[in-house]
Chains A and B, each alone.
Chain A
Amino acid sequence: MIIGLDVGGTHTDVVLLGNNGLMREIKVTTDSSDLFQTVLGGLEKITEGIEPAEISRVVLSTTLTTNAIVQEKNPQVGMIVSGGPGIDPELFRTNEHYFTVSGCMDHRGRETEPVNESDIRKIADTLKKEKIRNVGIVGKFSARNPAHELRIYEIIKDSFGKVFFGHQVSGHLNFPRRIATTYLNATVRPIHKEFFEAVRKSLEEKGLTVPIHILKADGGTMSLESSIDFPGQSILSGPAASVMGAIGFATDKDDALVLDIGGTTTDIALLVKGVPVLEPLGIRLGNYKTLIRSLKTRSIGLGGDSVVRVKDGKLEVGPDRVGPAMAYGGTFPTPTDALFVLRMVEDGDREKSVKGIETIAKALDMSSETVASHIFDHVCGKILTEARDMTDRINSKPVYTVHELQEGYQVKPKEILVLGGPAPYFAERFEALSDFSVSVVPRWKVANAIGAALARTTCEVTLFADTQQGIAASPEENFSETVDKNFSKEKAIRKADELLKQKALQSGAASIDDLETEVIEDLEFNMVHGFYTAGKNIRVKVQVKPGLIFDAGCLLDA
């Protein structure tokens, strides 16, 4: 049996899946001031009366690290950043104890300026005096050659706790994001480590010694153990849980939109032939643009509990939420109240909804029923517009080859999958207002937790080779080997694939058999010096696609 748990802003959803599909589903209230109790409470409740030995896997999607970053409640860390020529690295300052140092690599990973070791020692002394425990070390082009980051580590390693390296967060080239990502990993580490080790300990005390996986923003999982060194990967996993809950019901022939209608927001995601679209570089959280792999999702301030008001004679919905719908004891009319007025929902105090919607009706000089259906259409229409905008933006992403521009795949969603509390009502309306074929994700209320439960381990590997320098390397994977002139793109892909499978196993994949891998970049250039070919420059990127560990179809019959 598998447990999936997804912490949301208001509710935490927990499911128990067995061989015959969904066995239990529960919702508990999220206590954001004590997430540990929320998570543990949810896990205790879902396993009541279940033999611990029957549970084989637990997947957790929490808001722990996201909240910690947004609330800026993290301990101080030290950052040592070497920039070299370009934008002044001081402009990428992440925190107080942030030091820019000399030392520089170029685009091919060749040293153009050495590290000044005495500077590093001085910085280490300062950080020690400030009682800094964790440190991040980031160099420009360290994804091409991590030697400087490793050299700095050698100098300071005995004085600090955990040291995070820029070259380990991603193979992508983006120095500012590398700095931000390394910083986030370093700063959320203590809270993440403490929390999940406590969860593991509590479960062990109950006899549950199963592998615990953490959901990532890219819709994949990683083992609790590997998350300790990359805690930043656990941020913003919520939208990913929903998408993973939906993909089992999407066709692999056409493109589709996934809409998760929540209380405060609606999250929009896109599937291309059943596979979710990823952010090209990584997720953004507040002011931090990162290299944390993530599904491309767009969150808009429109949900079942959004405040409805009239401003300058016009209807306005959201983006704010002030408590639940009036039918459930709230103080402002909401789209959910409109559903009550329209008698689409019945399980609350309709009188209160009518009262709230009437104030809007009066202001607009319409009947309550008309206004209610206007509100509902307004919300649905706006969500559809945003979804189309998102599709357009993905289609206008630049490409770099003639071939890609000519053959450029245009995403054309034909289908919408809806999940979240009010999914069925919205689905009906979306279909009426558009040409999409719309369906409600089975178990729409807890599909997010199901998505978390079934998500497979994902990862990505970047490998580059420079046959003039005679190297093939993947600094992120601590891999480097010498190669001869005959090293080719095909060999690079094989090597990268090998590293990818190894990484997937280390990150918690049960086996390499069900991994769907794909090549996402393969470039090979002749490097010419003075009209003669001096070598080949090869860049390869492979990934495990986000997907499910088994067919979600069985849930339909459960």
Chain B
Amino acid sequence: MLTAKNKTGLVFFPAFDWAISPTHPEREERLLYTRDQVFEEGLFDIEGITELKADFARAQDVERVHFCIPDVWEVTTESHFISAGGAKTVGMAVLDKQVEKGFALVRPPGHHAMRMVHGARGFCNINIEAVMIEFLRAAYGVDRVAIVDTDCHHGDGTQDIYWHDPDTLFISIHQDGRTLYPGSGFINELGGPNAAGTTINIPLPPSTSEEGFLYTIRNMVLPILDDFKPDLIINSAGQDNHYSDPITNMNFSAQGYAELTSLLKADIAVLEGGYSIEGALPYVNVGIILAMAGIDYSNVKEPDYDPDRIRQSSEVSSYIEDVGEDVMEVWQQREEIKAERQGKKKFDERPRRIYYDTDGITERQNETIRICSDCGGALRIDSSSDRRGRVLAIHIPIKACKACREVGHEWYDSANTENFETVLLQDRPEDVLRVKELRS
């Protein structure tokens, strides 16, 4: 009888009754053929593969990560609570040692959702990986986490949430931002002053194929993971690098995804994007599940798979080698870069304008971080959008030092009643969200 080498838990939640809009890529049909393939392969019958029922995430789980404007209920639907909850279910099963590996095959996705949430960006409302990770930190005391985002689009939401966190390594491998949404994810985006180097962006050229992706994993991702020594590795498993994906320009395959999965050895994978719902997803997902479970995947191929047709050019290969050199140089010099960025400053500021493409909202932010060598630093975000008034959001990191805690509280207590509609404090050491509504 077929047995999994690694006990693997799956949450499969295709949300067959939820869509952004009827013909949107993020629609009911998206995981239909994946379900067909997963069922027909009999994956849930394999000894050692367990299907888990998704839990609902709670509002508290979302508020641990996000500042939702005006509140959690306004920017989410039930389906978001289930997809985040599904990731959480898988995370718990792994941490409880019920399974060795877990895969949350859920929708809608989350990696474009940033810390501030005024609406949906890139089909994402809440960051389901971050909701899971911060729950696992609060409930199980997990410390160092690495997220490897293999979606074709830059994981700008996850990057934003962990920009200042030196204990979370965020690596995003994606199609170069000059050629694809969201237009970010360049090598010089390497984290805030207190966490410089723990954000790694690996922009790959269009037409990158199996060779290039696996080169990236072997020569960049794995050495960096070896250095960082995470307690937990999460794969944001987007599947839109596939050669048949309608909204991207890469040439990856089911075989490639499966091999990537077995090289990466992530503890938990969470589905992100991937919109070639017939030609790619059924095969890619079966490949990923088999690779996680340690079962032979060599026969998992798309019906029209032809490695010669999708092979990358030598220009692409040498371009990727150059990217690799730059990425590794930044990684090796991360301490120096951090010292230089911190300088003698007490605070650092970052003004930004963020566009929520799915909902058509523009947000202006001014971010202030306390420069700190002992923790991620107290963070203050002054945010306003073209839909609502000004909000002040303060984040005290879970491992905040005493000084940063005091600064965070001081910011909250002294927030000017005239200027802000709402003042929020994410007090992570206390695991609470405090809210002041200043105008009645």
A91 touching B2 by the CB < 8 A rule?
Answer: yes
Which A75-89 residues have C-beta < 8 A from chain B?
A: 83-88
Within the complex, the shortest CB–CB distance from B105 to chain A, in Å, comes to: 11
Within the complex, the shortest CB–CB distance from A13 to chain B, in Å, comes to: 34
B286 touching A86 by the CB < 8 A rule?
Answer: yes
Q: Does B357 contact A (CB under 8 A)?
A: no
Given A402-B79, A530-B246: A537 and B32 interface contact (C-beta under 8 Å): yes
Q: Does B186 contact A (CB under 8 A)?
A: no
Of the listed stretches A223-231, A490-498, A521-529, chain B binds: A521-529
Query: Looking at the complex, which one of A86, A172, A287, A400 makes contact with B37 (CB distance below 8 Å)?
Result: A86
A398 touching B12 by the CB < 8 A rule?
Answer: yes
Of the listed stretches B23-31, B221-229, B391-399, chain A binds: B23-31
Q: Does B41 contact A (CB under 8 A)?
A: yes
Which B99-145 residues have C-beta < 8 A from chain A?
A: none
A174 touching B54 by the CB < 8 A rule?
Answer: no
Question: Which residues of the other chain, A, contact B278 by a CB distance below 8 angstroms?
Answer: 106-108
A531 touching B23 by the CB < 8 A rule?
Answer: yes
Question: Which residues of the other chain, A, contact B52 by a CB distance below 8 angstroms?
Answer: 398
Question: Which residues of the other chain, A, contact B343 by a CB distance below 8 angstroms?
Answer: none
By beta carbon, the residue of chain A nearest B15 is A402
Number of residues from B at the complex interface, CB < 8 A:
50
Q: Does B347 contact A (CB under 8 A)?
A: no
| Complex-state Cα separation, A177 to B40, whole angstroms | 9
Q: Does B36 contact A (CB under 8 A)?
A: yes
Question: Which residues of the other chain, A, contact B28 by a CB distance below 8 angstroms?
Answer: 525-526
Query: Looking at the complex, which one of A177, A396, A402 makes contact with B42 (CB distance below 8 Å)?
Result: A177
| Complex-state Cα separation, A175 to B42, whole angstroms | 6
A112 touching B303 by the CB < 8 A rule?
Answer: yes
A106 touching B15 by the CB < 8 A rule?
Answer: no
| Complex-state Cα separation, A530 to B23, whole angstroms | 9
A402 touching B18 by the CB < 8 A rule?
Answer: yes
Question: Which residues of the other chain, A, contact B14 by a CB distance below 8 angstroms?
Answer: 400
By beta carbon, the residue of chain B nearest A112 is B303
Q: Does A533 contact B (CB under 8 A)?
A: yes
Which A315-350 residues have C-beta < 8 A from chain B?
A: none
Q: Does A173 contact B (CB under 8 A)?
A: yes
Question: Which residues of the other chain, B, contact A289 by a CB distance below 8 angstroms?
Answer: 42, 45
A526 touching B45 by the CB < 8 A rule?
Answer: no
Question: Which residues of the other chain, A, contact B33 by a CB distance below 8 angstroms?
Answer: 107-108
Within the complex, the shortest CB–CB distance from B273 to chain A, in Å, comes to: 16
Q: Does A403 contact B (CB under 8 A)?
A: yes
Q: Does B283 contact A (CB under 8 A)?
A: yes
B15 touching A401 by the CB < 8 A rule?
Answer: yes
Question: Which residues of the other chain, A, contact B16 by a CB distance below 8 angstroms?
Answer: 400-401, 523, 525
Counting contact residues on chain A (CB < 8 A from B), the size range is 35 or more
Within the complex, the shortest CB–CB distance from B30 to chain A, in Å, comes to: 10
A402 touching B17 by the CB < 8 A rule?
Answer: yes
Which B275-330 residues have C-beta < 8 A from chain A?
A: 278, 282-283, 286, 290, 295-296, 298-305
B53 touching A397 by the CB < 8 A rule?
Answer: yes
B32 touching A85 by the CB < 8 A rule?
Answer: no
Question: Which residues of the other chain, B, contact A398 by a CB distance below 8 angstroms?
Answer: 11-13, 51-54
A141 touching B40 by the CB < 8 A rule?
Answer: yes
Q: Does A406 contact B (CB under 8 A)?
A: yes
Which A163-180 residues have C-beta < 8 A from chain B?
A: 172-177
| Complex-state Cα separation, A533 to B23, whole angstroms | 7
Return the 9 tightest CB-CB contacts between A and B, nearest first: A112-B303, A107-B36, A176-B42, A173-B39, A173-B40, A401-B17, A398-B53, A85-B301, A525-B29
- CB-defined A-B contacts under 8 Å, sample of 26: A85-B302, A87-B290, A87-B300, A107-B40, A112-B303, A141-B36, A141-B40, A173-B40, A176-B2, A176-B42, A289-B45, A396-B53, A398-B12, A398-B51, A398-B54, A400-B15, A400-B35, A401-B17, A402-B17, A405-B78, A525-B32, A526-B28, A526-B29, A528-B27, A528-B29, A533-B23
New A-B pairs, 15, CB < 8 Å, besides A108-B278, A175-B40, A175-B42: A86-B40, A87-B286, A174-B42, A176-B45, A289-B45, A397-B53, A398-B11, A401-B18, A405-B82, A406-B78, A526-B23, A528-B29, A533-B22, A537-B29, A537-B32
